[in-house]
Amino acid sequence: MSYLLDLKKVVNINSFTKNKHGVDQVGQVFDQWLSALGFEVTVYKRELIGEHRLYRSKRKEGKKLLLLGHLDTVFPEGKFEIFSEDDEWVYGPGVCDMKGGNIVALEALRLLKDENVEISNVDILFVSDEETGSDDSKLLTAQLAPEYDYCLVYEAAGENAEVVTGRKGVGTFFVDITGVAKHAGNFYADGVDANLEAAHKLQKLVALTDLSKGTTVNVGKLEGGIGANTISPHAHLTFELRYKTTAERDRVLASIDTIVATSYVEGTRSILSGGIQRDVMMSSQEALDFVQDIERITGQRLPTEERGGVSDANIVSSCGVITLDGLGPFGDGDHTVHERANKKSFEERIELSRELIAYFIKNSGFKEQ
């Protein structure tokens, strides 16, 4: 388990998304490791955030496989940044989300190198801003995705070693409402209450939720007004949409437009901003067939699940690439100071990836020849 020393090295480098220096440091460490395996490194320079990195192997005729991960974590310097371990678990920022997953992919490739397998048609993309929504990298990921036939994403595995075949889509939106301020005692009737308009809109937005279809609309933040004696001249809503199908996405987006365009309090004006952050990763028959191929290749059952959270798998899947997520180790407590990953699951996921990538290289795909 010497790879845990490599995990310790990158975990102990703070790579909070806004810590460009730290994110780039982690990327440079992976540059060294993957260059030693014969990968060519392309660095996508960024001024304010960490650099994205693409590692290309040798090219041959046949299908192409992308391994996908991210370099950033969620805690700023001084908050939670030290690696530790006991007999069963490793602890620290990114041990499961997702420096641990990156190490799984790296170690599987190292084992193939040790077995004298020539690595070809297998590339790796590490982005730097996944934890803040991939606002910059999603354009790059979407641009590169069509080059590939398959994608394995190294976010954490499920508790029972599940891989992820579907993830909800997510959008974040903002509504700015303008009213007219007036003294609440002397000129109440002349005021136009932006807060009241926000209250109407909040109820209409939340009513779009349909739990039977996996659709939720959450108004997570409501701000407005000046004080108790003033009719509110402005209000602001921040809300999130999550959905499992494109049909539900389209239904809710159309309804949002109608709600924002409607003035429930006469005289108010509203402006909508924001949008879909990462589109839905719908569980497809192709993905389920891919799981069956993996079970045939490995001789082991591979349980599946769908998750409400999003990842960059959403982006690649939306581009039509057959995508599986959850190839990393099992862990929990991610995004908290209790983040941990199970040591045994590292061994299992490394071996799974080694088998899959070796088969892919030999057979130019995962289908039975």
Per-residue pLDDT of the chain (369 residues; tens, 9 = 90+): 799 999 999 999 999 999 999 999 999 999 999 999 999 999 999 999 999 999 999 999 999 999 999 999 999 999 999 999 999 999 999 999 999 999 999 999 999 999 999 999 999 999 999 999 999 999 999 999 999 999 999 999 999 999 999 999 999 999 999 999 999 999 999 999 999 999 999 999 999 999 999 999 999 999 999 999 999 999 999 999 999 999 999 999 999 999 999 999 999 999 999 999 999 999 889 999 999 999 999 999 999 999 999 999 999 999 999 999 999 999 999 999 999 999 999 999 999 999 999 999 999 999 876
Helix (DSSP H) and strand (DSSP E) numbers for the chain: 9, 16
DSSP string, 126-184: EES-GGGT-TTHHHHHHHHGGG-SEEEE-SPBPTTS-EEEEE-EEEEEEEEEE-B--BT
Every domain of the chain with CATH number 3.40.630.10 lies at 3-167+281-363
* Domain range 169-278, CATH class: alpha beta
What pLDDT does residue 133 have?
93
Instruction: Give the chain's length.
Output: 369
CA distances from 17 to 137, 226, 228, 325, 328 (A): 12, 34, 39, 21, 20
Are the CB atoms for 167 and 280 separated by under 8 Å? Answer: yes
Q: What is 3-167+281-363's CATH number?
A: 3.40.630.10
Q: What order do you get walking across the sheet with 216-224 strand by strand?
A: 216-224, 234-243, 169-178, 269-278
Core vs surface per residue 338-360: b (16+ CB within 10 A) or e? ebbbbbebbebbbbbbbbbbbbb
Place of tokens 């839905």: 280
List of E strands, 205-355: 216-224, 234-243, 269-278, 304-307, 322-324, 331-332, 340-342
What pLDDT does residue 4 have?
97
Are the CB atoms for 105 and 162 separated by under 8 Å? Answer: no
CA distances from 367 to 36, 66, 150 (A): 30, 17, 12
User: Would you call 245 helix, strand, or coil by DSSP?
Assistant: coil
What pLDDT does residue 222 have?
98
Q: What angle do CA 148, 35, 119 make, to 5 degrees?
A: 45
pTM of the prediction? 0.92
Residue 2 CB contacts under 8 Å (≥ 6 apart), including other chains: none
| Cis amide linkage into residue 98, ω under 30° from 0 | yes
Every domain of the chain with CATH number 3.30.70.360 lies at 169-278
| Segment holding 199, helix H or strand E | helix 194-206
Residue 148 CB contacts under 8 Å (≥ 6 apart), including other chains: 64, 65, 66, 123, 316, 321
Residue 43 CB contacts under 8 Å (≥ 6 apart), including other chains: 27, 31, 51, 52, 53
CA 126/CA 355 separation, integer angstroms: 22
Two structure tokens written together for 323: 């995508």
CA distances from 99 to 75, 126, 259, 271, 287 (A): 14, 10, 42, 40, 25
CB-side exposure of 261: number of CA atoms within 13 Å?
A: 6
What pLDDT does residue 369 have?
62
What pLDDT does residue 236 have?
98
Q: What angle do CA 205, 207, 212 make, to 5 degrees?
A: 125
Q: What angle do CA 282, 287, 292 make, to 5 degrees?
A: 145
DSSP strand pairing (65-70 vs 150-153): parallel
Are the CB atoms for 76 and 323 separated by under 8 Å? Answer: no
CA 273/CA 153 separation, integer angstroms: 30
